Amino acid sequence: MEEPLITVITPTDNLLQNNNADAFNLLVQLLDMQTYPNIEHIIIDNGSTDGTIEFLKDYKNQGYLTFFSERDTGKFNAYNKGIMHAKGKYITFLSCDDFIHDITSIYDIVNLMEANNADFTFAPAYCRHPEGFVFLFAPAMHSAFQVMPCARQAMFFKKSMLDRENYFDERFKLLADFDLIIRIIMKGYTPAYFDTTYVTYKLGEKVAQNEDRAEKEIKAIYNKNYRTLYPLNETVLDRMAKFSEFPKELLDRLAKYFPEDDRELFYERCEQMHQIRVNAHNNAKQQNKE
């Protein structure tokens, strides 16, 4: 039986000018070393003008990838274009400076998804901070209704599920992946946990550099997904976004999206996240006074 095709989607934008050629080469070479034999790598280029097109053509001519180049409106627009071109049964999304360091992982992930008829997987990931250190981002799926619960780079998605869900919501320029995760959990799609740290990614700085925009998007994502469960207003949304302070009635309804045996843990994780956010806010206030 032939192994299902896997699609890896990577957006690019002036790789050479932005000094990402070496990182991109590492991504491509490690994908080529994967023990899994049936992978397509699709590059969605943002109309680069610095020689990136010729750079990508060399990889294409060697059979490593295929690419499309035209202006896009952001990362998630590029991902959506990639999904529409994808032929794979399963899809994962990697930036040009991310890489899969475990060369057997795709084989294992496909076997896991096939055995469990899973719609998506999630896993721990190594994150490279812009300041030079690396930390482990362990999944926290019980906190998925409050904050981004895992690294998008450490997830695989069934293409048919993405098609049914109309892909990423491009209204959210910074956090469309958070919105997608909330949606697929609330729709009852089947998850599978892959208990291996197989991917290393670079922490994006856009959210930190655009805190006001990110907070607005978080409130809009909450409102979009939870408004039928609880009457939300600006005051409630503001406290949810700033402090992860969710009304008890809303938490009770969100808890039902988890198995009954997990609901006590869900409430514990929600309270822990709330306390973390409150303490961080208080510490920031104290530092500003000093």
pLDDT tens digits for 199-249? 999 987 777 678 899 999 999 999 999 999 999 999 999 999 999 999 999
Residue 83 CA from chain centroid, whole number: 14
Provide the token pair at 273.
Answer: 């996240």
pLDDT > 90 in the chain, percent: 90
Q: Give the model's confidence band at 288: pLDDT under 50 very low, under 70 low, under 90 confident, else very high.
A: low
Where does the pLDDT of residue 54 fall: very low under 50, low under 70, confident under 90, or very high at 90 and above? very high
CA–CA distance, 175 with 183 (Å, rounded to integer): 13
**Length, in residues, of the chain:** 290
pLDDT of residue 283: 83
Whether the per-residue pLDDT at 1 is higher than 60: the answer is no
Mean pLDDT of 151-172: 97
- The architecture (CATH level 2) of 6-209 comes to Alpha-Beta Complex (3.90)
Write down the residue that tokens 């400076």 correspond to: 97
- Rounded to the nearest integer, the mean pLDDT of the chain is 95
**Between 203 and 152, the higher pLDDT residue:** 152
Question: For the chain, which residues make up each domain, given as ranges?
Answer: 6-209, 228-289
Mean pLDDT of the region 34-38: 96
Give me the pLDDT at residue 280, please: 84
Can you tell me the distance from the alpha carbon of 122 to that of 109, in angstroms, rounded to the nearest whole number? 10
Q: What per-residue confidence (pLDDT) applies to 130?
A: 84
The band of 290, judged by pLDDT with boundaries at 50, 70 and 90, is low
| Max intra-chain CA distance, the chain | 66
Q: What is the pTM of this model?
A: 0.95
Q: HEC states along the chain?
A: CCCCCEEEEEEECCCCCCCCHHHHHHHHHHHHCCCCCCEEEEEEECCCCCCHHHHHHHHHHCCCCEEEECCCCCHHHHHHHHHHHCCCCEEEECCCCCEECCCCHHHHHHHHHHHHCCCEEECCEEEECCCCCEEEECCCHHHCCCCCCCCHHHEEEEHHHHHHCCCCCCCCCCCHHHHHHHHHHHCCCCEEECCCCCEEEECCCHHHHCHHHHHHHHHHHHHHHHCCCCCCCHHHHHHHHHHCCCCHHHHHHHHCCCCHHHHHHHHHHHHHHHHHHHHHHHHHHHHHHC
Over the stretch 110-150, which tens digit does the pLDDT of each residue have? 999 999 999 999 999 999 988 889 999 999 999 999 999 99
